[in-house]
Chains A and B, each alone.
Chain A
Amino acid sequence: MTEAWIDDVLAYSGIAAVDLYLGATQLRHNDPANIDYPGEFKFGGGHVIEKLIRGEELQLFALSYGTDEYPLKELRTKFTIDDLNQATMVNPRNCYQNYNVAVNTSNKTIYTYLGKLKPNMGNMTYSSAGQLSPLLNDPVYRTIGIGSSVWLAGAQGHVYSEGTQHTSAVVRTANQVPAEGAGTLALTGNMKEMDGDFVRGVSFKGYGVSIALGVGIPIPILDEDILLKTTVRDRDIRAQVIDYSIDYPMETGKVLATVNYETLKSGIVNILGRDIETASLSSYSMALKIAEILKAQIRDGNFLLNKPYQPLPPNQSMKAMKAGK
């Protein structure tokens, strides 16, 4: 296959002859994107992946130039996940260890991957499970490393690499909890074992499509230090409030304020003398559910913990792409 679309979403075909990569943020063919701003982005790669895992039927349309051993030049067919030999999720960035909090100080509405931000700091959004977020419970990666088993949307997957943008050399507060975006994980797992309730296509008006995944990572309590760090509470985790109307797009590095997750989850945060309503993009209630499922699986002997074969890079910084001339 040289070109292929699944449910009209373009897949990458520059690999082995009949293998495809489907990207979660790929738009559907002919999606007007932000031409009529703000676009709706109703359907894309994330939605196709959710349908696949739910066992729904999908349409494959593929083109090829034809060779002596692969003569077929065009294929249009329907399939489900059961018709595939392998369906593997390969996800290069998950479980961001802390993340910034978004506001908009400008006088017009903006649309971001942290949702719609009302003008004049009319709302504030964040995305982390805080005290239940895996890497915030193992802040210097003592047990979570490359090769660690993870609960990935119901499948037993594993960490295959540090995630993209993994940045371990950051400002840390008490107990080495990062005070800004820090480590990330690259995860993989068998989609045939996944549960569609934990793999959800999402649409962000004015921004695009993506996927929301349920992830749980067990942390073995091997000594007092590991135990102490898993007792982290929302009040101990601080995040940076960033102005997404100017400082984020212009990369000024300016931080408007810092807030802790206990305050964020209360629903109202006071910064710069103003009370601002808060909302989350990640689901704490789903995180609780996953923690219970994983706990039961471990107790029943259905999920075995293992030792990572390589640690995550402990002292790594991040750089932006070089600007064009």
Chain B
Amino acid sequence: METRKLLLTFVKNVVERPIVYNLVKEFDLVINIYRASISEEEEGYMVLDITGPTKMIDAGINFIVSQGVTIDNAQKSFRWDESVCTSCSNCLTHCPVNALHIEDRKTMKIVFDQNICIDCMGCIPNCPFGACGSIFQD
């Protein structure tokens, strides 16, 4: 069993297809959706974890791609711009899972762990410098 984090981008003509339903029904995968949205232009995003045997995950991903959905498995919707971050640390108490955290209390430098982030976006309005953003927001 493994878990993979995916960011799916749906173009206009595939938004109405029941992709997640088929991942569960046909490939027996466990789905955990963090965030999903359809824009006014009827394009969609979805951020989710899929859990199951590697073989089934690969088959499920092939199915998703075959439906015309674009997969970005390197990113969530959340973006942290290290070059903008000053490591003030105000985000820390607004990140419930410590994806944004300090590893070395001697330097107090902020680091971000993409794998822990649950895409809650709690940090975004709490960064005075605008280092946090999301494809779901302007």
Contacts and interface: CB of A to CB of B under 8 A. Distances in A.
A205 interface: yes
Chain B binding surface SS class: loop
A283 B92 contact: no
Contacts of B87: 283-286
A115 B129 CA distance: 12
Interface in B86-105: 86-94, 102, 105
Contacts of B90: 115, 125, 279-281
A6 interface: no
Interface stretch (A7-15, A196-204, A224-232): A196-204
Nearest to B106: A288
Nearest to B125: A205
B129 A202 contact: yes
B92 A284 contact: no
Given A267-B92, A286-B86, A203 B130 contact: yes
B126 interface: yes
**Size class of B's contact patch?**
20 to 34
A116 B94 contact: yes
B4 interface: no
A297 to B, nearest CB: 21
B128 interface: yes
A163 B86 CA distance: 25
A67 interface: no
Nearest to A118: B93
Interface residues of A, number: 28
Shortest 7 CB-CB contacts between residues of A and residues of B? A123-B93, A202-B128, A284-B108, A285-B87, A283-B86, A279-B92, A277-B93
A40 B126 CA distance: 10
A203 B90 CA distance: 12
B102 A267 contact: yes
Interface string B34-74: 00000000000000000000000000000000000000000
Contacts of B109: 285
Nearest to B104: A285
A97 B137 CA distance: 38
Contacts of B102: 267
10 contacts: A202-B128, A202-B129, A212-B86, A212-B129, A265-B108, A280-B108, A283-B88, A283-B89, A286-B86, A288-B107
Contacts of B86: 200, 212, 283, 285-286
Contacts of A40: 125
Given A115-B128, A125-B93, A285-B87, 17 more contacts: A118-B93, A200-B86, A202-B128, A203-B130, A205-B125, A212-B86, A265-B105, A265-B108, A277-B92, A278-B93, A279-B88, A280-B90, A281-B88, A285-B86, A285-B107, A285-B108, A288-B107
Interface string A28-44: 00000000000010000
Contacts of B88: 212, 279-283
A115 B89 contact: no
Contact of A279 (B91, B105, B125): B91
A266 interface: yes
Interface in A11-60: 40
Nearest to A285: B87
Contact of B128 (A203, A285, A286, A288): A203
B105 A266 contact: yes
Interface string B101-135: 01001011110000000000000011011100000
Interface in A200-244: 200, 202-205, 212
B109 to A, nearest CB: 5
A145 to B, nearest CB: 29
A282 B108 CA distance: 11
Contacts of B91: 279
Contacts of B125: 40, 116, 205
Contact of A267 (B94, B105, B129, B130): B105
Contacts of A125: 90, 93
A212 B90 CA distance: 13
B17 to A, nearest CB: 36
A265 B129 CA distance: 21
